[in-house]
Amino acid sequence: MLTILLIILGGALSIAYGLWAINDVMRRDAGTQRMQEIAGAIAEGAQAYLRRQYATIAVVGVILFGVLAFLLGVWVAVGFAVGAILSAAAGFIGMNVSVRANVRTAQAATQSLGLGLDVAFKSGAVTGMLVAGLALLGVVIYYAVLTRALGFAPSSRAVIDALVALGFGASLISIFARLGGGIFTKGADVGGDLVGKVEAGIPEDDPRNPATIADNVGDNVGDCAGMAADLFETYAVTVVATMVLAAIFFAGQDILETVLLYPLAIGAACIVTSIAGTFFVKLGPNQSIMGALYKGFIASGVLSIAAIAAVTWAMFGGFSRTLTITGGTSFSTSALFMCAVVGLVVTALIVVITEYYTGTGYRPVRSIAQASVTGHGTNVIQGLAVSLEATALPTIVIVAGIVFSFKLAGLFGIAIAVTAMLALAGMVVALDAFGPVTDNAGGIAEMAGLPKEVRKSTDALDAVGNTTKAVTKGYAIGSAGLGALVLFAAYTSDLNYFIAEANRQGSTAYQYFRGVTPDFSLANPYVVVGLLFGGLIPYLFGGMGMTAVGRAAGAVVEEVRRQFREKPGIMEGTERPDYGRAVDMLTRAAIKEMIVPSLLPVLAPVVTYFVILAVAGKSQAFSAVGAMLLGVIVTGLFVAISMTSGGGAWDNAKKSFEDGFVDEAGVRHMKGSDAHKASVTGDTVGDPYKDTAGPAVNPAIKITNIIALLLLAVLAHS
């Protein structure tokens, strides 16, 4: 119980940090009247969107709550509600801080770049710590309630099902928030650019563009709230899957609860080190923003190694204790610690690789900028080439992570590596969530007519934000790749448990599973069928996401054209555009567009199960669904990394032109040149790639896995 209390304390620290940081941000100067007006409009739009999004999800959520309560009992349904509500809360609070920090960042940037970074980063850190803290608290407190207050055994089905349902609740918010937010933000961005920059010839964030507030709202609901929900889910699902594995691997041993709590303790320790790391983020004399962020990130990482070592030592009474999986292999606690280090190293490498592929100044982004010189077509070709190539090194790193952690401590070692990787979520999300704040700050500076230097500071922060955004997405999907085996193992272990129980002499439990013999060998055609069906999900889902952005952008174009037509004074600056209508229209469009694609990964495992059941029986249906879980990762990993890295590279290739890009022939191409225009095309293409379709693949993968686990639970109860 002491361990549980200490873990809760770690989680609570994140809330305390959040309160302190919110207070610190809110104390800052909120700028002029005009700036506050603009920020107010953004905040209003963002809240309106999120309210409507949550209202829509709530309808689905209440139905699912009822279904789960009916099928699997009330504690499972409560777990689902806990996951959903906490995930929504993390996104909602984070976004509310973000829409207040934006204007304060703009004001701080009038004084210095360092001050702007400070406000923006602190605001991002609120979201980061809340994501990690609330996810941890949700899991640990609900676990304590189930095992202590309600008296369920730690490895009982009641606990496992309830925790899986908690992950499902987080997944539900995540898939809708990522996709809905992504469609909103990129619909506004692409649509606003098309009608503003291209048709009307006014710059980005020009106050005459009726879509400009919507664009800034989008940054908050997509990049802040959507991303928070995504990482909350990734964190919750990974921790839960690791606990499910522990419950099965160490069933009946005295050490069981210690092993169950070990991933949570790692999470708690890393919240502390992440908070400590935030204080290292300070702009050095070289004014390198990425350098400042790296300082914080490296500090967190190094401290985390020490903290995880301490946790391992304290929980297992040293590094040389041997753990033995029930009826299986053994490994030492030092091996578990090394697995955690592997997870941290994988994180570090993915950060470095993603920076290389998306940062200005390196070959990939330069090659796209260079290709812009010969036109729109070659820009896009080179961007696609970079996006394809960018998958190689992360894949090799993930594979190495799998091999090393498996050699150290088997499947459970892989689970601990992923847990350690995600334990840094607080820091990684903090690095990312300052991006939308600075993006907004730039918009406010432009609309409020602040001096050019302010815009320059916010642009510099924003360019780094593009990279850190790509990093976070790469990190989330990388953890999914490394965690694929863990989720698959949770599925097979669950399945094997039900089969063993059903086949026990005289057993009356789980009779649905009696005589089932799944075969996960690649030689089984239904495994290949599952791999292909799973592989299809990210493609079809990605295609739907891209189309949805296209449609939403089209709706924005029409709305803006209508306003320009009906209020001719807008362009002269004598009439005020109706920002609210654009936000409102886009809200409806995004919510409508997010429904069908979100259902794809939810329904896919269920449909696959019943189709194969009808064709080839239970055993093959379970085999196909299992294979589907790996199929969705195998293509999802590549689709997501290529889209997020490629999109980031396109965006920064465009930014290369802001100060003039010197091509291979030594010619300097300025903003407004043909080469710059070509780079804008690439950026537009990259927008839905990196901010809608690509990042939504991660929740799609997770939800497919969670649904498969729930399917087993439901069938077990039937």
Minimum distance, C-beta of residue 190 to a copy of itself, in the bound complex (Å): 7
**Contacts with a copy of itself in 137-156 (CB under 8 A)?**
none
Residue type, 501: E
Q: Does 681 bind a copy of itself (CB under 8 A)?
A: yes
Backbone angles phi, psi at 363, to 5 degrees: -50, -50
Binding flag, residue 637, a copy of itself (CB under 8 A): yes
544 touching a copy of itself, by CB under 8 A: yes
Q: Are 649 and 390 in contact (CB under 8 A)?
A: yes
What residue type is assigned to position 439 of the chain?
A: D
Dist. CA 130–CA 20, nearest whole Å: 12
Among 174, 273, 372, 391, contact with a copy of itself (rule: CB under 8 A): 391
Query: Which span (46-54, 131-139, 310-318, 632-640) binds a copy of itself, by CB under 8 A?
Result: 632-640
By CB under 8 A, residue 258 contacts a copy of itself: no
Neighbours of 156 (CB within 10 A): 15
Nearer to a copy of itself, 40 or 554 (CB): 554
Q: Is 372 in the site for a copy of itself (CB under 8 A)?
A: no
Asked whether 172 and 57 are in contact (CB, 8 A), the reply is yes
In angstroms, give the least distance from the CB of 142 to a copy of itself: 29
**Single residue of 26, 67, 150, 198 touching a copy of itself by CB under 8 A:** 198
Residues in 477-506 that interact with a copy of itself by CB under 8 A: 481, 484-485, 488-489, 492
Q: Identify which of residues 417 and 703 has a Cβ nearer to a copy of itself in the complex.
A: 417
* DSSP codes joined into one string, 208-257: T-TTHHHHHHHIIIIIIIIHHHHHHHHHHHHHHHHHHHHHHHTTT-TTHH
Residue 11 within binding range of a copy of itself, rule CB under 8 A: no
265 part of the interface to a copy of itself, by CB under 8 A:
no
- Cα separations in angstroms, 519 against 57, 497, 526, 628, 630: 37, 15, 9, 13, 14
CA-CA distances (angstroms) from residue 161 to 8, 334, 402, 701, 714? Answer: 22, 31, 27, 19, 10
Q: At 434, is the secondary structure helix, strand, or coil?
A: helix
DSSP string, 92-135: HHHHHHHHHHHHHHHHHHTT-HHHHHHHHHHHHHHHHHHHHHHH
Q: Any idea how long the chain is?
A: 718
Q: How far apart are CA 134 and CA 228, in angstroms?
A: 11
User: Using CB under 8 A, which of 283, 546, 586, 590 touches a copy of itself?
Assistant: 546
Is 374 among the residues that bind a copy of itself (CB under 8 A)?
yes
Question: Binding residues for a copy of itself, how many (CB under 8 A)?
Answer: 84
Q: Shortest Cβ distance from residue 639 to a copy of itself (Å)?
A: 8
Residue 412 as a binder of a copy of itself (CB under 8 A): the answer is no
Shortest Å distance, C-beta 143 to a copy of itself: 26
CB nearer to a copy of itself: pick between 155 and 684:
684
Using alpha carbons only, give the angle 78, 83, 85 rounded to the nearest 5 degrees: 90
Return the DSSP state at 326.
Answer: T
Nearest distance from residue 339's CB to a copy of itself, in Å?
13
Letters for 692-711 (x = contact with a copy of itself by CB under 8 A, - = none) are -x------------------
Strand pairing partners for 324? 330
Q: How far is the CB of 439 from a copy of itself (least distance, A)?
A: 19
Selected range binding a copy of itself among 106-114, 201-209, 385-393, 504-512, rule: CB under 8 A: 385-393
What residues have CB less than 8 Å from 6, skipping those under 6 apart?
265, 268
Contact 661, 369 (CB under 8 A): yes
Tell the smallest beta-carbon distance from residue 526 to a copy of itself (Å).
Answer: 8
607 binds a copy of itself (CB under 8 A): no
d(CA 336, CA 574): 67
Smallest distance from a copy of itself to CB 187, Å:
11
Q: At 364, which helix (H) or strand (E)?
A: helix 363-372
* Selection from 4, 33, 481 nearest residue 234 by Cα: 481
The owner of tokens 């934000």 is: 465
CB 426 within 8 A of CB 301: no
614 near a copy of itself (CB under 8 A) = no
527 lies in the binding site for a copy of itself (CB under 8 A): yes
Q: Does 539 bind a copy of itself (CB under 8 A)?
A: yes
Q: Which of 12, 15, 305, 384 binds a copy of itself (CB under 8 A)?
A: 384
For a copy of itself, give the closer residue by CB, 110 or 374: 374
Stretch that binds a copy of itself, among 146-154, 309-317, 502-510, 626-634 (CB under 8 A): 626-634
Binding a copy of itself (rule: CB under 8 A), the pick from 185, 563, 642, 644 is 642
Q: Does residue 606 bind a copy of itself (CB under 8 A)?
A: no
Q: Which range of residues in 11-19, 106-114, 292-300, 530-538 is near a copy of itself by CB under 8 A?
A: 530-538
Q: Which of 35, 338, 529, 570 binds a copy of itself (CB under 8 A)?
A: 529
- State phi, psi for 324 to the nearest 5 degrees: -125, 125
Using the rule CB under 8 A, give the single segment among 87-95, 149-157, 268-276, 514-522 that binds a copy of itself.
Answer: 514-522
Please tell me whether residue 66 binds a copy of itself under the rule CB under 8 A: no
